[in-house]
Structure formats: structure tokens, C-alpha cells
């Protein structure tokens, strides 16, 4: 690990390299374009000449009606300039000519694009992802191979392609996702979240996408920028939404700003390699040590992902502008923010505010893999009287996952055990400003697959799915969970990231068509489809209030309701059948006479009679008068 860190320091030693002979070398501009009429109309363009250490000494002029060059920042590394420009509301789209003039030699003109904003139906983006949605999380490399010609790309560091290896590339891509959007829509999905599709030109482990090497380029093994736009357009045409996975905390070690750093403090520098502690407590601990706080925030997540210094104003602008650019360029509707707790939190407030100012309906939810409701609340909008106030609208709700549904299904019932943990965790929602903004889930790309976790018990599986699609918040399903994919994170996380069946030509089993699925897989898939599509049209489950009752003898009852619809959810986590009396919950059952099983509408219960519920099962009932 130390060798890697010192190699990065060696790259920073290239700062002083100057060579006027390369004055006509290519100059790259980031962001590559912008738009008139944006609230973020003061753009900082990072100009980079990979082969010209004298760029920083050149004079810069700009010519375009409505666009002015306000200031030129000369960074430590002579290959970089930061250009502050202002774009007037009436500036005309077109090529903005930026001229770079050395002290000796010829001037060089570079085009920077001022693009036209979307018109007509294409304006339907930045909608936000809410409790009315059902998110599907997938890894493009492991979902479906729609274009085998891009499986390997000449010149990229990782040339692997082997579906028999859990760590090598498998060839899935964005075209494969586009090809199966009808499947997702029929499943009841309304929003798609993918692990990052941006370029990851790293030597290995490029299947996950979290080590970006170019923010403004889709990884060519996934497709192109145009392919990503096509995916966005196809989603919106179906009334679905696009969630982009944002990674602000770190980069891949082969990102151009790491191989050739604009400034020494572009990343957090340590005398020897220093990893984050992964301990969030020091950030909020009244008795915490500054040393622990610094290592938590400034330590590196892993050696191959350098930790960005978001207090550096150029880094901050680079990241915020990329987020805004992504929404406008690709039609993003919301962001899932990776490793949220490791970022500089004041920077994150700035970034979130900038997005919300530009797109008032957009939503963000941050990955907050922490332990404890109060810890999680610290990172999102909350009702706590504390010095730091986060403006993050929602989080990935690890609390209902770590201390909730899994315990409910796998632990015996007790005063604080089993389903009591789920009840207790939800009872602490009072600390959040809006718990409906939180994303609830059974599993994801970092956790043991749900069907494995519950020891492949189909009744428990259905109970978990029923909870996911009826509890408060925004439900998220991990790809393949609907067809009972299995896999444990121990010993390697690759086992929870296997290929979706049917995504590759020649697959004998297909989750898309149903060919070769077992009876249990088909039953599970149909269960998800039925309940998810019911939820889509149920105001009680999407936007309704929630009321829960203290669990008794392993039975947990809660309601989702509006003035016009009431849904009763009965979960029996015990090892034996239990009887339920509707009148025991008369605050919500009063005035109703019938209860219809929403998964099997032909099954109707007389609410004057007791209901018998089998062990390890759950019923979702719509109450009727």
C-alpha cells in the first residue's frame, strides 16, 4: 500500500515540468460544454494540456457574445489553468472560441460548446425519486450483454473478459439494459439505479464502476455518452426515471487529475498511506478526538481510490459542476451518493444546495452504512438540535436493514429481539425530517443476497418482499432478487454480483422470458410483479401515512392509509400459526367489514372473524367497507 501511495506522490512531482515545444499540444476542457439560462451561470473551466507544462504561463482570451472571461487561475501544475466564465441568460448556443497565447510561438484556439437546452418532451427530467417509485438497482457489467462488440476495448488497461471469474469483466452494457426496459416496467419498476457507468480505465476490478478515470465519458465497454442518453430517453418515454450513482469522495488512481495532479492538495496527502477508520462516530461524538475525525474523513477508502480534498475550491467546483452537467446532459432524475459519510459534509451541503437550486424537484439519497438511527440521522435532514445540519433529503436506510427486516425473519421473537427490532427502529423515525425520503432495501451490491441470508426460505422471502413494498419510504430491489439469485459476501463480494440469468446469448435460463426458471423462481418473480404493480396504483402504499402496533408473540401489524384507502399488513414471524383479531386494531379497522388479499384478490376475509396466519408468512390486505 505504501508503494502505491509514494508512486502517486511521484506523479505530483511532475508539477514543475515545462516544455514550450509542446505549445500546440491538445488542450482538454472540463466541463466540455454548458448551457445558457442556467442558474449556475458562473462556470469554472479546467483547461489541461497533457503534454504542455507551459500552459499555465499562457495568456487566455475568449470570444463569444454573452460569454465573458472573468479570471484566469494559474494552478501549481503548469499543465493546468482554471478559467472563470460568466454566461449571460441571452447568450446564443454555439462554439465559444478560447485562445491560448504563449509568450513565444503561435496562439491556439480551442472550441468550448455552449449547448441548446432541451425542448418539448425532453424537458421531462430532474423529476426526483419519491416514495411513489420502486427502484431497481443493477450492475451494467452483470445484467445483460446487448452489444458484444464493446466487450473489450483496445487501449484500455483491463482487457479481461471471463464470465467464469467473479472479478473479471463479463460484458454487460447499457444496450443490454435498454433491451430489457420492458421487463423492468412489467415488473413494476419505476426508477433505475445503476452502479456508475463512467469510464473506469483501471488495470483490474473495473466491473463495479466506483473508480472513475474520466467524469465526462461513459465507459466505452458500456457504450457511449449517446448510449446513456438513449437509455435516459427510453426510460422517460416509459414514464420511468434515471438515478445516477455519484461518487464525490474518491477517484480511480488512473484518473488524469491523479496521474498529473493540478495541485498538491488535490487529494488528501499523508506522509505514509493512511486508510479511513470507517468509523463515523467521531464526526458527531461530543468527546471525540480531532485525530479520529480527520482520519475518518481524510483517510483513503482503499489504496486504489485516492481521497479527494473537497476543501480545495477547484476540486469542489469540478465535482459540483459535473453533477449539474450530468443532470442537464443525460436527463438524470436523482442521485444516489456513494460513501456519503466519508465526504467533507460542508461540501456536500454546498453540492446538494446547488443541485436543488438548479432543479428544485431533484432528489438525492446518500449511502450511510452506519450503526444506529441517531448516527444515520446525523447525515440527513433531521429534527435534532445539533451544530451540523445536513441538507441531504434522504439516505439508504441501513437501519431498517441491519436492525430490522433481517432480524425479524432470522431471530426468535423477544422483548428486544426479532421483529421487535424492526418495530423499534421504525419507532425512532421521529428524528428524521421526512423518513418517506429514505430508501429501504433487502440487499444490494455490497451485502449478502437476501435469499441466501434467509437460508433460501421462500415464505421468508415473500415476507421480506411484502415488507419492502408496503413499508414507509422508497423501496429498492437488487437485480435478480426477483428470481431468487443467491450469493454471500464472504469470502468475496463478487459472489453477490453474478450475472442475471438470460442476459447473455446462449444462457439456458432466462429471468426475462421465464425459460428454465424453477417453479420457486417463477413464483417469486410473479409475487414481486403482482405486489409492485398493485403498489404503483395504491395511494396508501405510495404516499399514505403509517401506523404500527407493538408486536405480540411474533406477530407484527402495521397499516398504510389515506382518507380513501387503508392497507393492513400482518407479519407472522413465529414458528407456528397465529390468530389475529381485526377488532384489536380498531383505530384503523373500525368501519370496515372485508379484507381483500391484494396478492390474491379472490381471497376475502370476514373481519368479524378471526384470521389464522401460517408461520413465517405475511398478508397484505386492502380493507373494504
Render pLDDT for 359-411 as a digit per residue (tens, 0 to 9).
999 999 999 999 999 999 999 999 999 999 999 999 999 999 999 999 999 99
Instruction: Express each pLDDT in 91-107 by its tens digit.
Output: 999 999 999 999 988 99
Percent of the chain with pLDDT over 70: 96
> What is the greatest pairwise CA distance in the chain?
94
- pLDDT above 90 covers a percentage of the chain that reads 94
Nearest C-alpha neighbor of 82 from the set 309, 265, 313, 260: 313
Q: In the 8-state DSSP scheme, what is residue 568?
A: E
* Coil, strand or helix at 29: strand
Q: What is the pLDDT of residue 105?
A: 86
Q: Which of 180, 138, 189, 184 is nearest to 532 (CA)?
A: 189
User: How far apart, in whole angstroms, are the C-alpha atoms of residue 221 and residue 358?
Assistant: 31
Active site residues: 338, 367
What pLDDT does residue 11 have?
Answer: 42
- Contact call for residues 114 and 34 (beta carbons, < 8 A): yes
DSSP symbols for 138-181: E-HHHH--S-GGGSS-TT-S-----TT-SSS-----HHHHHHTH
pLDDT of residue 6: 37
- What confidence tier does 121 reach under pLDDT thresholds 50, 70, 90? low
135 backbone dihedrals φ, ψ, rounded to 5°: -90, 140
566: Cβ contacts below 8 Å, ≥ 6 apart = 540, 559, 560, 588, 592, 622, 623
Q: How much is the pLDDT for 485?
A: 98
Q: What is the mean pLDDT of residues 432-460?
A: 98
Do 14-116 and 131-259+332-399+435-541 come out as alike in CATH topology?
A: no
CATH architecture under which domain 14-116 falls: Sandwich (2.60)
Q: Count CB-CB contacts under 10 A for residue 375.
A: 17
Q: Pairing relation of β-strands 604-606 and 594-597?
A: antiparallel
Confidence of residue 12 (pLDDT cuts 50, 70, 90): very low
Reply yes or no on whether the pLDDT at 235 is more than 90: yes
Give the model's confidence band at 124: pLDDT under 50 very low, under 70 low, under 90 confident, else very high: confident
CA–CA gap between residue 437 and residue 422 (Å, rounded): 18
State the average pLDDT for the chain: 95
- Could you report the per-residue pLDDT of 53-64, keeping only the tens digit for each? 999 999 999 999
Q: pLDDT at position 122, please? A: 58
The pLDDT of 586-611, averaged and rounded, is 97
Percent helix, strand, coil in the chain, to 5, is: 30, 20, 45
- How many C-beta atoms lie closer than 10 Å to residue 297's C-beta? 21
pLDDT at residue 10 in the model: 38
CATH tag, 131-259+332-399+435-541: 3.20.20.80
Indicate the pLDDT class of residue 119, thresholds 50, 70 and 90: confident
CB-CB contact of 423 with 472 (8 Å): no
Q: Tell me how far apart the alpha carbons of residues 150 and 516 are, in angstroms, rounded to a whole number.
A: 28
> What are the cell numbers at 303?
489504496
- Statement: 547-624 belongs to CATH 2.60.40.1180: yes
**Domain ranges across the chain:** 14-116, 131-259+332-399+435-541, 547-624
Among 387, 358, 383, residue whose Cα is nearest residue 373: 383
**15 pLDDT higher than 80:** no
Amino acid at each position: 500500500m505504501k508503494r502505491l501511495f509514494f508512486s502517486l506522490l511521484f506523479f505530483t512531482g511532475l508539477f514543475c515540468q515545462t516544455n514550450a515545444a509542446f505549445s500546440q499540444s491538445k488542450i482538454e476542457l472540463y466541463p466540455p460544454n454548458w448551457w445558457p439560462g442556467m442558474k449556475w451561470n458562473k462556470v469554472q473551466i479546467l483547461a489541461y494540456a497533457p503534454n504542455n507544462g507551459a500552459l499555465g504561463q499562457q495568456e487566455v482570451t475568449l470570444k463569444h457574445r454573452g460569454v465573458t472571461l472573468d479570471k484566469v487561475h494559474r494552478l501549481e501544475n503548469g499543465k493546468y489553468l482554471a478559467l472563470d466564465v460568466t454566461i449571460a441568460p441571452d447568450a446564443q448556443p454555439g462554439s465559444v472560441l478560447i485562445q491560448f497565447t504563449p509568450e513565444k510561438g503561435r496562439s491556439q484556439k480551442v472550441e468550448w460548446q455552449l449547448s441548446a437546452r432541451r425542448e418539448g418532451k425532453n424537458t421531462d427530467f430532474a423529476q426526483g425519486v419519491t416514495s411513489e417509485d420502486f427502484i431497481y438497482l443493477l450492475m451494467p457489467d452483470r445484467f445483460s450483454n446487448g452489444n458484444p462488440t464493446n466487450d473489450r476495448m483496445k487501449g484500455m488497461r483491463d482487457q479481461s473478459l471471463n464470465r467464469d471469474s467473479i472479478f473479471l469483466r463479463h460484458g454487460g452494457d447499457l444496450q443490454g439494459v435498454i433491451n430489457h426496459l420492458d421487463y423492468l416496467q412489467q415488473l413494476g419498476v419505476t426508477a433505475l439505479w445503476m452502479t456508475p457507468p463512467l469510464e473506469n480505465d483501471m488495470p483490474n476490478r473495473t466491473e463495479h464502476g466506483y473508480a472513475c478515470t474520466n467524469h465526462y465519458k461513459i465507459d466505452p465497454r458500456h457504450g457511449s455518452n449517446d448510449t446513456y442518453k438513449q437509455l435516459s430517453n427510453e426510460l422517460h418515454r416509459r414514464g420511468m426515471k434515471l438515478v445516477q450513482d455519484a461518487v464525490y469522495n474518491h477517484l480511480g488512481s488512473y484518473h488524469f487529475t491523479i496521474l498529473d495532479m493540478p495541485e498538491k492538495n488535490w487529494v488528501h496527502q499523508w506522509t505514509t498511506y493512511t486508510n479511513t477508520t470507517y468509523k463515523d462516530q467521531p464526526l458527531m461524538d461530543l468527546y471525540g478526538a480531532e485525530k479520529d475525525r480527520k482520519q475518518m474523513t481524510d483517510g483513503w477508502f482503499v489504496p486504489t481510490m485516492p481521497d479527494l480534498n473537497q476543501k480545495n475550491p477547484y476540486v469542489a467546483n469540478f465535482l459540483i459542476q459535473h453533477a449539474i452537467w450530468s443532470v442537464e446532459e443525460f436527463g438524470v432524475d436523482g442521485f444516489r451518493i456513494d460513501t456519503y459519510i466519508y465526504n467533507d459534509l460542508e461540501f456536500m451541503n454546498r453540492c446538494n444546495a446547488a443541485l436543488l437550486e438548479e432543479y428544485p424537484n431533484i432528489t438525492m439519497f446518500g449511502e450511510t452504512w452506519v450503526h444506529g438511527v441517531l448516527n444515520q440521522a446525523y447525515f440527513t435532514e433531521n429534527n435534532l438540535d445539533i451544530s451540523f445540519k445536513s441538507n441531504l433529503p434522504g439516505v439508504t436506510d441501513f437501519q431498517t436493514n441491519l436492525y430490522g427486516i433481517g432480524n425479524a425473519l432470522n431471530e426468535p421473537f423477544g422483548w428486544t429481539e426479532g421483529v421487535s427490532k424492526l418495530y423499534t427502529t421504525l419507532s425512532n423515525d421521529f428524528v428524521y425530517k421526512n423518513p418517506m425520503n429514505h430508501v429501504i432495501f433487502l440487499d444490494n451490491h455490497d451485502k449478502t443476497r437476501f435469499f441466501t441470508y434467509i437460508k433460501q426460505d421462500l415464505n421468508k422471502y415473500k415476507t421480506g418482499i411484502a415488507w419492502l413494498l408496503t413499508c414507509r419510504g422508497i423501496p429498492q430491489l437488487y437485480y435478480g432478487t426477483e428470481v431468487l439469485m443467491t450469493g454471500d459476501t464472504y469470502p468475496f463480494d463478487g459472489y453477490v454480483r453474478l450475472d442475471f440469468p438470460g442476459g447473455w446469448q446462449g444462457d439456458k435460463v432466462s429471468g426475462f422470458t421465464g425459460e428454465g426458471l424453477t417453479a420457486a423462481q417463477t413464483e417469486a418473480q410473479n409475487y414481486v410483479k403482482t405486489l409492485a404493480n398493485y403498489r404503483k396504483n395504491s395511494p396508501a402504499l405510495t404516499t399514505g401515512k403509517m401506523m404500527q402496533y407493538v408486536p405480540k408473540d411474533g406477530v407484527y401489524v402495521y397499516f398504510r392509509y389515506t382518507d380513501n384507502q387503508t392497507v393492513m399488513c400482518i407479519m407472522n414471524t413465529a414458528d407456528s400459526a397465529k390468530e389475529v383479531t381485526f377488532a384489536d386494531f380498531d383505530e384503523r379497522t373500525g368501519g370496515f367489514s372485508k379484507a381483500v388479499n391484494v396478492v390474491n384478490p379472490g381471497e376475502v376475509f370476514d373481519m368479524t372473524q378471526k384470521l389464522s396466519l401460517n408461520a413465517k408468512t405475511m398478508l397484505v390486505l386492502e380493507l373494504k367497507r
